[in-house]
Amino acid sequence: MEMDTAIKRLSAIAQDARLEVFRLLVKAGPDGMAAGEIARNLSVAANTLSAQLLVLSNAGLIRARREGRSIIYAIQYDAMRDLLVFLTEDCCGGRAEMCAPLATIAARCCSTSEGAAHEAPARSRRRR
């Protein structure tokens, strides 16, 4: 990934309203949410939100699709994944101080069933 792209994405989420939008859309999943719905959730003006959605879109972190009168925004998982990969590149200059925690993140995510209220099918994954 190019530095330019990474910076674009980082600055996109380095702002309170946009970080909230981002997190909201991460939670919302692939189905996404309409712009108006997002605005209501975060109590931010429609036109302000529009500008912020554009920043996130231009960074490639979210994607818009029209559905009737609404425009639905949804997270782009690949973009986020690429950014995380970029940030952790060369993290092992010989040592594992950073890598070890990464494994923890992966393990915590989707395996700890703390938030598994929505019964994920969970194709048997080997533990630990």
In sequence order, which residues have a C-beta less than 8 Å from that of residue 5 and are 6 or more positions away?
59, 60
Of positions 46, 85, 91, 105, contacts DNA by CB under 7 A: 46
Stretch that binds DNA, among 20-28, 44-52, 104-112, 118-126 (CB under 7 A): 44-52
Q: How far apart are CA 36 and CA 83, in angstroms?
A: 28
Residue 53 binds DNA (CB under 7 A): yes
In the bound complex, what is the minimum distance in angstroms from residue 14's beta carbon to DNA? 7
Query: In this structure, what are the phi and psi dihedrals at residue 66, rounded to the nearest 5 degrees?
Result: -85, 145
Q: How far apart are CA 81 and CA 22, in angstroms?
A: 14
Residue 75 binds DNA (CB under 7 A): no
In the bound complex, what is the minimum distance in angstroms from residue 19's beta carbon to DNA? 10
Of positions 30, 68, 94, 121, contacts DNA by CB under 7 A: 68
Our CA angle for 75, 30, 62, nearest 5°, is 20
Which entry of DNA, its own copies, none binds 103, CB below 5 to 8 A by partner kind?
its own copies
